[in-house]
Structure 1
Amino acid sequence: MTVLVVATGNPGKLREMQTYLSDKGWKLQLKPPELDIEETEDTFVANACLKASAVAQATGEWAIADDSGLEVDALDGAPGIYSARYGNTDSERIERLLRELGEEDNRGAQFVCVVAIARPDGAIALQVEGICRGEILQTPRGTGGFGYDPIFYVPEQGLTFAEMTPEMKRRYSHRGKAFEALLPQLSQLA
């Protein structure tokens, strides 16, 4: 099995990636805790590539990184790459977003996820993007998920991400779509 270092210190993200990559011949492991990569770029693509490349070079192993966030049409794509830093907690981020949207009629939004894989020398071997279109509700619904999930409504499913089962969310989410694009190409790498 080829080691694939996940450019995160979050065991939850490692577990989530393992569900997508199980039985693909890769052994996932967290990046070393002392390795901290600051997201200094201004796009999801550039941040994912930056993290994957830095972790690969530091560890001498294949590395995978993702960068994702919410883009709201009426807010000119905000919070975008700042989605995780839009407040100190999930509820603060949701409150700020709803306050900024106010009574705006255009509630269109999309979750974006970019996944990048770097070779041990840091060269980017593969990058994919997944997008899930939806709408921002005026009040949260559901108890599952995290982040903006309770206010991100997917009309085709009639549910917010927070109301979906984990399996359903994996299938329809931006991250699920990115991994769906990644998997057919992954077998050609190692």
Structure 2
Amino acid sequence: MPSLPRWAWIAILLGLLAATVLILLAMGREPICKCGSIKLWHGEVISAENSQHITDWYTPSHIAHGLIFYAALHLVARRLGLLPRAAIATVVEAGWEIVENTDAVIQRYREATIALDYFGDSVLNSGFDIVAMWLGFALAARLPVWGSVALLLAMEVGVALVIRDNLTLNVLMLLWPLDAVKEWQAAR
């Protein structure tokens, strides 16, 4: 990748975020919660406002994405430098936010998980999911490996204990739904 100044890479990251927001809006996604308010935190998982505000119980999953993307890109693209790797991670995260909010994936969530009333993320939530990934990526760049692993495990276990869901279970249930997991999750 070309050697660009730091400000240019930051502009690229912000441009990727802006492009994602514009694509989601063009897809017809709701800009903010239909409730008309914007909350810093919404903690009720089984509600029409889940994934509609700035942060929620799924924000740690996006922080985990950043930790994981940093580790993977450190292994395969270390020579690119931190900000070019952050741009690659942002493209992946933005791609997921777009795919996650397609009718096909929303329907898959409804069929395979306990998210029966899930109707996708607001654009606000998707944008801040990307910011959460940046936070995870930045933390991984500064923490020792054991610190990143400990943080990842703490978030996964903590969120699972509180809401019976997390990144691991989310991926499992989307790819290979298990009735036992679905029953455990439904017993909230």
Instruction: State if a TM-score over 0.5 links the two structures.
Output: no
When normalised by structure 2's length, the TM-score is 0.28
Q: Choose between structure 1 and 2: higher strand proportion.
A: 1
When normalised by structure 1's length, the TM-score is 0.28
- Higher RCO (Cα < 8 Å, 6 or more apart): 2
